[in-house]
A = this chain, B = another copy of it.
Amino acid sequence: MRKRKSKTRYLIMGLLSEGPMSGYDIRRITLERFRFFWSESFGQIYPELRRLEQDGLIARLEEKDTPRHKKRFSLTEKGMEMLRQWLLSPAETEQMRFEVLLKCYFSYLAPKGTILNHVKDFRRRYTDVLNQLLVIERELQVAPDSFNNHWYVLATVRLGIKTYRAYLSWAEEILNEFKEDPR
């Protein structure tokens, strides 16, 4: 038997633990809060919601007069159980795939200065996300801690901040070294 590998269900159940929401909400919140270390598309979310409901891990709310087409789900006891189980097991090793580093590595085969474009592009992208993370950090520090989980949320945000600062510091170093000794 093959081990289930997709983590989509845990993301969904995790979010539902904060209260009922729809597939569309899940997508939106994932973009807002997890963009820096996670991504999901509708093509995964909606079919997974159906499966989770079939398995009794989430339940459709019976609501009349929902705004628009909204179909909201809540986490069941069984679902919370499974979520807790997953939280106790160790995480899988992350597989990195940085195309930009592949390009940097082989840039010596291309015209002089090719690597600079990649490094500058990299720097620009991570300058943007770093700024977004700093905004989120400040917001978290002043917002009321309704779920008593801000310390946890801030932990993930701060890993992002440290990581992207390291990225930017690297980019500066490369650009400086190149300026001193262009290749």
Contacts and interface: CB of A to CB of B under 8 A. Distances in A.
Interface of A: 7, 10-11, 14, 17, 34, 36-39, 80, 83-84, 86-88, 90-111, 114-115, 117-118, 121-122, 125, 147-149, 151-153, 155-156, 158-159, 162-163, 165-167, 169-170, 173-174, 177, 183
A177 to B, nearest CB: 8
Nearest to A36: B96
B173 A163 contact: no
A101 B159 contact: yes
Contact of A109 (B87, B102, B153): B87
The copy count of this chain in the complex is 2
Dominant SS at the A interface? helix
Contacts of A11: 102
